[in-house]
Amino acid sequence: MSRFLFSTGRARVAALAVGAAVAALSLSASGGAFAAGSGGVTSEGVIYVDHVLYRTVATPSDLSNTGAPAQSWDLLYNFGGLQKSVGEVAPGDPGFNGGRWQVHAVSAPYGYAAALAAGDQNGNGVLDSASEVRAALLAGDLVDNGVVKQFVCTLNKLPGNM
């Protein structure tokens, strides 16, 4: 009987050792992943506001069809891969709604070069402010295809892009 207890004790020690090793590997793997910018945190800028590039923390929120009043949203233009998105306000700006975004899909029916020619007011090769997007919309070189999503995410200035 003591032999059985000894075997059971060794099995417990072995199980604890394996459990500790798995936990250590999990922590080191997740630590590396968070350091690499996962967990929803973008490591590079993804949204322009007033010629400044911001990164964000993507959240699994979808506030579409909530019936929230129009003034509770900030406008975000999504270019569907043509360029990075453009927001109308950022933290600290008057009227900023805390990162509650109403996303409008925009397209360039005459090509992105035409949209740039119509809207790129500072000549830096990208539409990076809401006023530039509005200029391209007014010229007809960008088309607002309407609201495609409403969600929440933060904006954080990209270090070195202040």
Q: Would you list the domain boundaries of the chain?
A: 1-39, 47-157
Give residue-wise pLDDT tens across range 33-45. 223 344 455 556 6
Which of 62-71, 97-106, 153-162 is predicted most confidently? Answer: 97-106
Per-residue pLDDT at 105 exceeds 80: yes
The 3 state secondary structure assigned to the chain is: CHHHHHHHHHHHHHHHHHHHHHHHHHHHHHHHHHHCCCCCECCCCCEEECCEEEEEEECCCCCCCCCCCHHHCEEEEECCCCCCEEECCCCCCCCCCCCEEEEEEEECCCCHHHHHHHHCCCCCCCCCCHHHHHHHHHHCCCEEEEEEEEEEEEEEECCCCC
Give residue-wise pLDDT tens across range 109-142. 999 999 999 999 999 999 999 999 999 999 999 9
Per-residue pLDDT at 17 exceeds 90: no
Residue 38, pLDDT score: 47
